[in-house]
Every structure is written in structure tokens, then in C-alpha cells.
Amino acid sequence: MEKQSFNFKKSLGQNFIFDTNLLNAIATDGEVQKQDTVLEIGAGAGSLTKVLCERAKNVISFEIDLNLKPVLDEVKAQCKNLTLYYQDFMEFDLNAIKMENARVVANIPYYITTPIIFKLIESKQNFKSILVLIQKEVAERFSAKPKTKDYGITSVILQTLFDVSITRVVKKECFTPSPKVDSALVKLVPHKKYVINNFDKFKQFVHTAFSMRRKTLVNNLKNVYDKQAVETALNELNYALNVRPEEIDVKNFVKLYNLVK
């Protein structure tokens, strides 16, 4: 990168990792195996890309910054199992790629974390796992438990679909350049614990339930859903009528939605 006189772009959230031990730890946390196809969003300087290529059958990587192409072309020359797309991942039709034994392992920009996660979820790809390095406080929201300040819309929606865990915290000093806050690796492993016929409507239900955190669940839902149906459902699930949304766990959010809808 020094040879290419590269300038980091804050607008693209460019914070790279070059520590070999940490890069290998990320690949290990991602459970990358020889039969896997790994999707990487944001190749950066290709340091993680190279590690993934050493472990996986195929690596498909996206990079939006064309100024990194000379650096990544050198990586591509070393890694014959690497496919590079120099374009915006958010504008790419992910379903146009055929991936077998697919996993996601990526150090993604803070500013676009949630849109990337939901693009992955809404694609038709059957990912075995998703491991992303993101801002620590966002990772804590993803994995939050009920009755905590971090538990909310994203916690419920993600945990309805995945077992969500933080595998390790990565200090800001591990990045070049250093961001202002620490990061964390958050892992999403798909499960089939719950039956939800219309997931889009379930997401709307959760958004409405948390629309005003200081209000009770009934008060948040009553303008969109039948109040009596909500109260009846809460009684059936043994919740008080003044319960707040952050007090209801994921399992009972699904039950509540199925009763009210």
C-alpha cells in the first residue's frame, strides 16, 4: 500500500487490519473450512482476503474503492480461488452468484453495518454462518438479552433467525488507521426455532412494539393492532398489561405476533 501511495478514506469507513494473528483468529471464528465459499464485503488491502483464500475453496470479495485495485490485483495474482468485484456490494444482486457451503466473513464499515446485514438476510443465499467485525456497541445490540438497554428491534429480528454471539472484542488500536471506538466480532448462525409465515409483517410488528420505549407495549401497538387482541395475548403469555417491549424475550415476541396477527 505504501508503494501505491494509498490514502485512507474516512467516508468509506476504511480501517484495515494487518496483524496476522488477529486475521487468523477471525478466520477461525468464522469456521472457514476447505469446502466453503466465503463472501467478503470490503476487501480493503486484501490482508483478510489472503487468509480466507488459504482456508476456503473459493472466496468472493467486494471492494468499492477502485484506488485499491492495484493492491488487490497483486492479491488476486497470488490467490487463484479469489473472485473480486470492484463495485458497491449494496447495489449488487447477490442472488446472481451461485455459492455452495457459503459463509460470510468480513470487516465491514461502521456506517453501513445494518443495511449490509439485512441485505444478507433477505437474499436467497443459504449461509452457514455470518461473521462480521463491526462497532462494539452495535454488536452488543445485535446480541442483547431482554431487560437490558441494548435490547431492541434489531436484537429481536436477528435473534428470531440466528443464534447471535460476540466471539471477541477487537481494540481500536488493532486497526490502521485507528477508529474512535472498539470493535467486536459478532457471529450469526441460522436456526429454525420459530415459525413465522410472513416475516415482513413480523418485522413491522416488532418496529411498532418498540416505537416508543418509554411506553408500554399495549400503548405502542394499539394504534395499529386490535387492543383487545393484544391484551388477550399478553394474558395468555402471563405478562402484565403494563409490560414494556424490552421485557419480552424473542420466543414470546413470536408467540405474541402469532396470536395478535
Query: H-helix or E-strand containing 62?
Result: strand 58-62
Where do the H-state alpha helices sit in the chain? 20-29, 47-55, 69-78, 113-122, 136-142, 153-161, 199-209, 217-221, 227-236, 250-260
CA atoms within a 13 Å half-sphere pointing along the CA-CB vector of 98: 0
pTM of the model: 0.91
Q: Could you tell me the three cell numbers for 139?
A: 454488536
Domain ranges of the chain: 10-190, 199-260
Beta carbons of 47 and 17 less than 8 angstroms apart: yes
CATH no. of 199-260: 1.10.8.100
Compute the distance between CA of residue 97 and CA of residue 156 in angstroms, rounded to an integer. Answer: 29
The pLDDT value given to residue 14:
56
Fold classification of 10-190 is Rossmann fold (3.40.50)
pLDDT of the chain, 261 residues: tens digit per residue? 444 444 544 444 457 788 999 999 999 999 999 999 999 999 999 999 999 999 999 999 999 999 899 999 999 999 999 999 999 999 999 999 989 999 999 998 888 899 999 999 999 999 999 999 999 999 999 999 999 999 999 999 999 999 999 999 999 998 877 778 899 999 999 999 999 989 999 999 999 999 998 899 999 999 899 999 999 999 999 999 999 999 999 999 999 999 998
| Predicted pLDDT of residue 160 | 98
